[in-house]
Amino acid sequence: MIKHYFKIAIRNLWRYKSHTALNMSGLVVSLTCSLLIFMWVQDEYSINRFANSDEQIYQVFRSFPNEKGEIMTRWACPFPVSDALMAEYPEISAATSYREVGDQSFVKDDQTHIFQGTMAHFSLFEVFGFELLEGSTLEADKKLKGIYISASFAERFFGADWQGRVLGESLNTEGQHLEVLGVFADVPTNATLAFDFVTNIRDFAERNPRWSRWGSSAFATYVKLAPKAGAEQLAPKIKDLVARNGGADNLSLLMQDFSDTYLYGNFKDGQVAGGRITYVRIFFFAALFLVLMACINFINLTTAHASRRAAEVGIRKVIGANRSSLLGQFLLEVGIVCALSLGLALMLTHQLLPYANDLLAKSLSLDLMDGTFWSLLAGISLIVLLLAGVYPSLMLSSFSIVNVLKNRLSNRLSSANLRRALVVVQFVLSGLLMTSAVIVQQQISYIKNKDLGFDREQVIQLELPAEISEHSDRFKAQLLASPYLESVSGVLQAPIGVGRATDDLEWPGKDPESDIRIHFLTADKDFDDVFKIRMAAGVFHQKDSASQDLEELVINQAAAAVMNLEEPVGTRVSMNDQAMVIVGIMEDFHTNSFHEDIKPLMIFNEPHNAEEFAIRYQADQTQAAVAHIKSTYAAFNVEDPMQYRFLDDHYNHMYQSELLIGKLANFFATIALFISCLGLLGLVSFLAKQKTKEIGIRKVLGASVGNIVALLSQDFLRLVMIAFVIATPLTIYFMQAWLDDFAFHIDLSWSTFLWVGLGAVLFAFLTVSFQSVRAAMANPVNSLRNE
């Protein structure tokens, strides 16, 4: 019996090739997309959920009210927090401060190896349960010049047979000699922590006392709770830890389960308020939508073609088939189509994976041995089979013999109303996706084009190695010798993603109770030339070096506003006993992403505290500029390779997730429109076939091609318009919520909806007329003769 069904299913699919092709291409496209997205979602969920992370690992955050009284939550905590947590609370079994140091070069036998690293307390390994292959952490914290390296570090640096001969070795890096204390198994790739070596954070703290006090926050903090300790009971106890130790009074600590830190990274009012999970959810549902849309196509096309199969159903019933065997037959047919589509989708997924990885910045792979992957596949297949298979099969198998044989299969059976409703659902979904995609693009283009208050074009950021820092004046002079380079400024960091802030600044009339935090940068006097910032009052830094007695200070308008000074320029202020004078007020410029308001900012004049150079070069001279910088750099005999990036790229990097959303939204919208139009095409060609005779008669009676096209199209176009009317408020609801997450955003405009709506109607019309024009052009004699 099965063999029999199988045979007839294949023959039927083959016979109605175009129908099958329409059905399958929709399914294959949507299955491929949703497979890719589901893989992405699965990957996102796996991040920070590695083997040991289900144990009680927590990250500590600090919360504080900002100028407006909103509670801000940041990952950066004061350095002493981890030690204090460890000392005061028996519930905490291990704690570490953590700060990634980026790429660092290690020299061996005149060969330079670059590794990415971090500094931390060596209890790091205990907190995260990272396995030590060699060495131990016992008493290790006291060895300030100690280093732990990963297995792959050891292998690359010492060779494949590193075992047993690396402990106690001395590593030469950036002018320091560090002793290898241990080798750890590579950090899992699905962790947000990424490092190949760990240096002692206490060493850094001793060398940088300004960073390591209770008053400054610059370190991530992770703790591991004792087996029976409850995070909920502990949370209220650690809240005021900083205040009790002489830090800011309004600063409180909170904890978040480490495995949640990646997806739930946003805080509001000191509570977790979503984060990346929103996008993961959105795209999970978008992928489900695509599957749903393909299923709708499947239902529509199958029920529309039901009349073709009706005769067969009638005959089979006459010769003895009962309903369940017919049901089985049709379900098997759907099953075959699903299986074929799934197979094709898998192949397509395999082919597209490299591009998807590129787009999503992931390294997903199709692992056919993975059980989760197969259960995912089974789940999708089951959904498709249920959605697309059951209804049409029930309907087909329900035809009554007499009606079929008497050719009394009326339109009633073609369930036209259901199809209409499903077409509306489809276009609501694609309308929602399309309008959202356009709005996301508008916001992205707003981000890219809005005047930030500084010029981010034609600026190169160059990291300064120790060898150059010592001679930064000479280096700067040699750079400026090139006609391609316009100006150079040594800065602590570029004004992108500024997070350093202090509440130590004192000014006349400051409310002693207030804890106003002011963000800060350090720069030299050429900062304003490089970044082309505008002064609202006074001047930018003038002096070549920080003067001991009276340092220059420049603030922005936002800072001037919170400081509430009558005549800011010339006002004397102080910080940590250093006297300063405000020499100028800058017009506000964006130092952080558009998600955040412009914050009070001050710039210290500290030319010799530069960690990087910002270099402005002439337009269209990028290559010449980079070449000159490289040769100058080489002349200083630096061991490390030169590391630089373009400010513009750096800026765009800040909007990584928005750019990703933008790309994905475009992609989804296109696929959704494609699938919807595919379904429309199938329905119209069915309608044209069904109405062949009517069209013929109308033409004989004098109807024009236009009349006929209208006859076939208007119903569908009306559905598309209804769909847009429904989609619009939904889109407004979702996209307003998305936009509200930005402190600076575009306003939703009616014209967007109008244009996208018109576009969709136009697309639908083109699709429909593709078929209807052909039907309308046919010679009526032919269609009437067929009868």
Q: Which of 138, 319, 481, 701 binds other proteins (CB under 8 A)?
A: 319
* Of the residues 114, 231, 311, 366, which one makes contact with other proteins according to CB under 8 A: 311
Choosing from 1, 160, 369, 619, the residue that interacts with other proteins (CB under 8 A) is 1
Q: Which of residues 324-343 bind other proteins (CB under 8 A)?
A: 325
The contact pattern for other proteins, residues 241-280, with x = CB under 8 A and - = no contact, is ----------------------------------------
Contact between residue 708 and residue 775 where contact means Cβ atoms under 8 Å apart: yes
Q: How many CB atoms lie within 10 A of CB 363?
A: 10
The one among 18, 170, 208, 322 contacting other proteins by CB under 8 A: 322
Binding piece for other proteins, criterion CB under 8 A, among 103-111, 315-323, 671-679, 705-713: 315-323
Residues 697-736 binding other proteins (CB under 8 A) are: none
Q: C-beta of 190: minimal distance to other proteins in Å?
A: 51
Sheet strands (E) in 511-634: 518-523, 535-538, 551-556, 572-575, 578-586, 601-605, 612-617
Please state the φ and ψ torsions of residue 221, each to the nearest 5 degrees: -130, 130
Window 154 to 193, contacts with other proteins (CB under 8 A):
none
SS3 state at 273: coil
Establish if 312 lies at the interface with other proteins (CB under 8 A): yes
Annotate each residue in 767-786 with x if it binds other proteins (CB under 8 A) or - if it does not, as one string. Answer: --------------------
DSSP secondary structure letters along 398-425: T--HHHHHTT---GGGGTHHHHHHHHHH
C-beta closer to other proteins: residue 318 or 634: 318
Pick the closer one to other proteins by CB: 175 or 320: 320
Burial 770-779 (b: 16+ CB within 10 A, else e): ebbbebbebe
User: 485 pairs with which residues across the strands?
Assistant: 617
The whole-angstrom separation of Cα 449 and Cα 27 is 39
Phi-psi domain of 637 (left: phi exceeds 0; alpha: psi -120 through 50; beta: other): left
Least Å from the CB of residue 405 to other proteins: 7
Among the listed ranges 26-34, 306-314, 561-569, 739-747, the one in contact with other proteins (CB under 8 A) is 306-314
Q: Which of residues 11-70 bind other proteins (CB under 8 A)?
A: 11-12, 15
Residues numbered 398-417 forming contacts with other proteins, rule: CB under 8 A: 401-402, 405-406
DSSP assigned state of 260 = G
Q: Tell me whether residue 402 or residue 758 sits nearer to other proteins (CB atom).
A: 402
321 lies in the binding site for other proteins (CB under 8 A): yes
Binding mask 345-384 for other proteins (x = CB under 8 A): ----------------------------------------
- Tell me the residue length of the chain: 787
Chosen residue from 318, 635, 762, 777 binding other proteins by CB under 8 A? 318
Residue 258 DSSP symbol: G
Tell me the closest approach of the beta carbon of residue 310 to other proteins, in angstroms.
12
Nearer to other proteins, 361 or 402 (CB): 402
Residues 6+ apart with CB under 8 A from 660: 279, 359, 360, 361
Residue 331 C-beta: closest distance to other proteins, Å? 17
Candidates 83-91, 112-120, 319-327, 607-615: pick the segment binding other proteins (CB under 8 A).
319-327
Minimum Å distance from CB 325 to other proteins?
A: 7
Strand (E) or helix (H) holding 253: strand 252-257
Q: How far is the CB of 332 from other proteins (least distance, A)?
A: 14
What is the full DSSP assignment across 203-224?
A: HHHHH-GGGSSTT-EEEEEEEE
Number of residues lying near other proteins (CB under 8 A)? 22
CA proximity to 88, closest of 239, 220, 232, 202: 239
User: Which regions of 109-216 does DSSP assign to beta strands (E)?
Assistant: 111-120, 132-135, 146-150, 170-173, 176-184, 197-200
For other proteins, the closer of residues 2 and 481 by Cβ is 2
Binding status of residue 315 toward other proteins by CB under 8 A: yes
Q: Which tokens hold the place of 23? A: 């059905």
Nearest to 286 by CA among 106, 535, 36: 36
- Report in angstroms how near the CB of residue 416 gets to other proteins at its nearest: 23
Local structure of 175: helix, strand or coil: coil
Cβ within 8 Å of residue 29, ≥6 positions away: 294, 671, 674, 675
Sign of CA dihedral 160, 164, 170, 173: positive
Minimum distance of other proteins from residue 409's CB (angstroms): 14
**Residue 97 to residues 59, 193, 436, Cα–Cα distance (Å):** 10, 13, 41
Q: Which stretch binds other proteins (CB under 8 A): 8-16, 187-195, 629-637, 653-661?
A: 8-16
Task: Single out the residue of 62, 202, 305, 316 in contact with other proteins (rule: CB under 8 A).
Answer: 316
- Measured from the CB atom, the residue of 325 and 472 that comes closer to other proteins is 325
Residue 465 to residue 461: CA distance in whole angstroms: 13
Nearest residue (CB) to other proteins, 4 versus 142: 4
Closer by beta carbon to other proteins, 403 or else 593: 403
- Residues forming contacts to other proteins in the complex (CB under 8 A) are 1, 4, 7-8, 11-12, 15, 311-312, 314-316, 318-322, 325, 401-402, 405-406
